[in-house]
Amino acid sequence: MQGVLVPLMIWLLWIPEIPAEEPGLRRSPRVVGGHPSEVRNQPYMVNIRRRGNFECGGSLVTPHCVLTAAHCLKDGQPSDFVVRGGVTYLNDMRNARYVRNILLPSAYSRVTLEHDVALLQLQQPLQASIAQPISLAVRSPRPGSFVRVSGWGLTDDSSTSLPNQLHSVHVRVMPQQECRDLYRGYRNITNSMFCASVPGLKDACAADSGGPVVNSHGFLVGVVSWGRAHRCADKNSPGVYSDVGYLSDWIADNIHRYC
């Protein structure tokens, strides 16, 4: 995350799937403590490739637009990226859509990762037979609630290669002040962020960045953003996510204008 987060495979605890309804500070998200999943259970899930290589996850929010993390697109041009929807495995090369435009919030900061979201406008839509958009939350997730994080990120800190199959993990949203205390002196937890994990068991990790965080009602509440480097699922290093509800005005305005 600034690391980019990747869903962790669930080792010790399994929770049923919810039905559909930069340098030293960098961390690549992964799903730690999670379980293999199928894109049919998350039809909004897409993978984003930069010049042919997997870069990040994303969420289809309209047939023409994908929401992801801004840090995933660092120094990139639209022609660098291809989005694929409707695929469970990274080696499935079907359903490619080229990117027409990259939309970033003016308040986004590469240093602080404030407002770490972006919209990719696609040249051609992803039809309903391939992928289905997810509805956006307009409120922040409630502390103590569980949310589902999905991606193709590393499944533990010792992994050196990405899993081919999509993974998901359920993590608990943490009180904001508790997360601020844990990250004090490392990076500020701002109002555009929230934290979630199951300490010592489950988290997002490297390569999960940009992926969806979905609540029990099937609404997109977050985007995988960052965490402390090499500390995925550590009890003192929860995953940090961009808060879709807090950023909903910017997201909704740009969807209306471009999507």
In the residue annotation, 197 being an active-site residue is answered as: no
Options 59, 64, 116, 157, the catalytic residue: 116
Options 71, 115, 167, 170, the catalytic residue: 71
Alpha carbon 124 to its chain's center: 23
Kindly state the greatest CA–CA separation across the chain: 47
Options 37, 150, 192, 209, the catalytic residue: 209
In the residue annotation, 71 being an active-site residue is answered as: yes
> Which residues, in sequence order, are CB contacts of 6 under 8 Å at separation 6+?
28, 29, 30, 31, 32, 151, 152, 153, 154, 155, 162, 204, 205, 206, 207, 208, 209, 211, 224
In the residue annotation, 209 being an active-site residue is answered as: yes
Looking up tokens 């500020």 gives: 188
Q: DSSP character for 139?
A: S
71: nearest Cα among 206, 252, 234, 233: 206
Tokens standing for residue 109: 């900061």
* Contact between 241 and 46 (Cβ < 8 Å): no
Question: Which amino acids are annotated catalytic?
Answer: 71, 116, 209
